[in-house]
Amino acid sequence: MAIDTLSLSRQFPRWRLRWERLRGNILLVVVMAVLLAMIVIPIGRLLINSFLEGHPALPEGWTLQNYTTAFGMPLFYQALATTLVLATIGTAITVVIAVLFAWLIERTDMPCRNLAWALILIPMAIPGVLFALGWALLLSPKTGAMNVFLRDVFALFGVEITEGPINIYSIGGLIFLDGLRGVTTVFLMVVGAFRMMDPSLEEAARVSKAGTVATFFRVTLPALSPAILAAAMYSFISSMESFEAPLAIGLPANIFVLSTLIYFTTRIQAPLDYGLAAVFGVSYMILMVFLLIWYRRAVRNSERFATVSGKGFRPRIVSIGQWRYPALALFVVYFLFAVAAPFCVLLWTSLLPGYRVPSIDAIRLITLDNYREIFATDRVFEVIWNTLVLMVVAATATMVLAFLASWIIVRAPVRGRGLLDGLMFVPHAIPGIVIALALIMAFLTPPLRYTGLYGTMGILVIGLVIAYISFGTRLMNSAIMQVHKELEQAAYVSGASTAKTLFFITLPLLFPAFAAGWIWVAVHALRAFSIPLMLSSKNNEVFAVLLWEFWENGTASLASGLGVLLIIALIPLSLLMRRFIVQVSGQQG
């Protein structure tokens, strides 16, 4: 056999075959090069810059100073500790609420369950920054609407205070926001498990004389623990990356997490220190990569012990008797806190000339002037246009690249596709703020400086494409695997080239998945905040950034008006997205 192989390679020179293969697949080579460049160059730049002194565009030489400074900074360790504490406690709260509602809505006779199912999805349509701003208006210590209300109640009992009682600008406030924020995602990740669980497990517990509560804690929860654990880890990772609430609530109170520390170092403090920020970015990224590897392993292991089968069981409804209405009340309270209260306070503020505590007197002042003012500024139309362009271009670019990448991973007869598969997973582990930081550095230095994309819409599009390409590729991978190989081969033998086959046969066949991914990216691009903010300049402002600018300039009513408009645009889009994604893959948006 060995001799045969030798003689064969003499017969077909290797380099020659390789060259011919390349020549026939120029499209694939270009795609792989683009993807590689898109991910490797910024990360490489980030690493290099962590060893450089001075501004990235004008480096002053190699140094380890950045590392010694960073690791000698108490603030860095404080931020790290805050990030971990916030993520841990926040995730615990999220998981308890989400699991409880998944069980109540899916498996008990709580009233209005179908309505609750629909309502629990609504937080998806509220960008994190608006959620935080809403609560800042509700619970700021002096003028927060809810604080004023609480003080009035206390006054009835003769307790007079002038401030508080609750201060949102605190670590407690951050934990509260983080805990509420992730409920929808975790709910969607565990609710399927509740539905698919074999009811005979619980029936066996009941006939063994266990009560409802004992059955829930002794049988239902342990049986579902793999799914719950996976969801909890996912939620922990998202909390580690959260930026919006720590920016709006944490920074004014001098509470730093890793993401806001990077933002502060590169956008606020004087002088800006890119080298230091690069060190923070590298540490942050390494931490997240380890967390994600740990998550992937855990999920893979938990699949081995799956108690949840794919069989379609009719879920057994548990009667919770007199607890039905308290359960519903609990859900109503959650909905008030997660959606109704922050949205209403934004709406209220947007209808008044300036922020006022809600009262009967103030109703007389209600006006649409803020909206008029918003649309009277020229910049607004430019910003709306930018936002739409960003949505459409980022969604299209992400999905086209993801489609081609997946096709190479699943189908193409080229080496290195395993590498590509691994590479497409990397951006998933990088927080948006670090992507943005790496892009700033990459586009301030050669070779990418010559593209002139710094400070334009182009760099924003690239940032969002990197942020969302992991999701797109995962979606496209499973879709392409479902397209029978022979359908493509039939096109080749009919005389079609690879490019024509991809365009006329493969793409139309998986169009539903492509469209679902497109909408997913578009929705996320519309509410994206950290990347557009980090990369923003005069010419590439988008809606969320303008909103933040209004807020920072103290015009809360204009910011609220923009926020209300954004939420109204996002509600139908989010629901549409969820319907598409569920149809295509059963994956959770």
Partner 1 sequence: MEVEVRGLTKTFATSQGHVTALEKLSFDIRPGEFYTLLGPSGCGKSTTLRCIAGLERPDGGEIVLGGRTVVGPGVWMAPNERPIGMVFQSYAIWPHMTVFRNVEFPLRQTRSWVNKTERRKRVMEALSLVQMAEFADRPAPFLSGGQQQRVALARALVSRPEVLLLDEPLSNLDAKLREELRIEIKELTSRLGITAIYVTHDQIEALAMSDRIAVMHRGANPSGRFAERYLPAAGEQLCRRLRRTGERLRGYCWA
The DSSP result for 377-411, as a single string, is: SHHHHHHHHHHHHHHHHHHHHHHHHHHHHHHHHHT
Please measure the distance between the N-terminal and C-terminal CA atoms of the chain and give it in whole angstroms. Answer: 51
CB of 321 vs partner 1, minimal distance in Å? 50
Q: In this complex, which beta carbon is closest to partner 1, that of residue 62 or of residue 492?
A: 492
Q: In this complex, which beta carbon is closest to partner 1, that of residue 14 or of residue 314?
A: 14
Q: Tell me the per-residue interface mask from 508 to 537 with partner 1, x by CB under 8 A, - otherwise.
A: xx-x--------------------------
CB of 10 vs partner 1, minimal distance in Å? 9
Q: Is 497 in the site for partner 1 (CB under 8 A)?
A: yes
CB of 562 vs partner 1, minimal distance in Å? 42
CB of 482 vs partner 1, minimal distance in Å? 12
How many residues bind partner 1, per CB under 8 A? 31
Q: Is 583 in the site for partner 1 (CB under 8 A)?
A: no
Task: Let me know: does 145 contact 357? Beta carbons within 8 Å.
Answer: yes
Q: Is 496 in the site for partner 1 (CB under 8 A)?
A: yes
Q: In this complex, which beta carbon is closest to partner 1, that of residue 13 or of residue 211?
A: 13
**Residue 445 tokens, joined:** 């230095």
Q: Is 372 in the site for partner 1 (CB under 8 A)?
A: no
**Residue 555 tokens, joined:** 């015009």
Q: Is 64 in the site for partner 1 (CB under 8 A)?
A: no
Q: In this complex, which beta carbon is closest to partner 1, that of residue 72 or of residue 508?
A: 508
CA distance 425 to 473: 9
Q: Is 48 in the site for partner 1 (CB under 8 A)?
A: no
Q: In this complex, which beta carbon is closest to partner 1, that of residue 71 or of residue 511?
A: 511
Q: Is 290 in the site for partner 1 (CB under 8 A)?
A: no
Task: Classify burial at 388, counting beta carbons within 10 Å of its beta carbon; exposed 0-12, middle 13-18, buried 19 or more.
Answer: middle
Helix axes 74-107, 221-240, angle to 10 degrees: 140
Q: Is 491 in the site for partner 1 (CB under 8 A)?
A: yes
Cα→Cα distances 449→32, 167, 232, 452, 453, Å? 22, 45, 41, 6, 7
Q: In this complex, which beta carbon is closest to partner 1, that of residue 25 or of residue 398?
A: 25
Q: Is 294 in the site for partner 1 (CB under 8 A)?
A: no
Options 16, 209, 314, 364; binder of partner 1; rule CB under 8 A? 16
Task: Let me know: does 561 contact 350? Beta carbons within 8 Å.
Answer: yes
Options 6, 13, 142, 293; binder of partner 1; rule CB under 8 A? 13
Options 300, 484, 568, 583; binder of partner 1; rule CB under 8 A? 484
Q: Is 413 in the site for partner 1 (CB under 8 A)?
A: yes
The Cβ of residue 126 has, within 10 Å, a number of other Cβ atoms equal to 24
Please give the DSSP secondary-structure letter assigned to residue 170.
S
Options 209, 376, 486, 538; binder of partner 1; rule CB under 8 A? 486
Q: In this complex, which beta carbon is closest to partner 1, that of residue 301 or of residue 494?
A: 494
Options 309, 367, 494, 583; binder of partner 1; rule CB under 8 A? 494
Q: Which residues of 39-48 are buried (b: 16+ CB within 10 A; e: fewer)?
A: bebbbebbeb
CB of 28 vs partner 1, minimal distance in Å? 13
Q: In this complex, which beta carbon is closest to partner 1, that of residue 349 or of residue 498?
A: 498
The residues that bridge with 318 in the sheet, in sequence order, are: 108
Contacts by 517-520, CB closer than 8 A, 24 or more apart: 517/398, 517/399, 517/402, 517/471, 517/472, 517/475, 517/476, 518/395, 518/396, 518/399, 519/395, 519/573, 519/576, 519/577, 519/580, 519/581, 520/468, 520/471, 520/472, 520/475, 520/577, 520/580, 520/581, 520/589
Q: In this complex, which beta carbon is closest to partner 1, that of residue 1 or of residue 270?
A: 1
CA distance 71 to 246: 22
CA distance 518 to 535: 23
Q: Number of C-alpha atoms within 13 angstroms, CB side, residue 113? A: 12
CB of 423 vs partner 1, minimal distance in Å? 22
CB of 29 vs partner 1, minimal distance in Å? 16
CB of 296 vs partner 1, minimal distance in Å? 22
Contact positions vs partner 1 (CB under 8 A) = 1, 4-5, 7-8, 11-13, 16-17, 20, 24, 413, 484, 486-487, 489-497, 500, 504-505, 508-509, 511
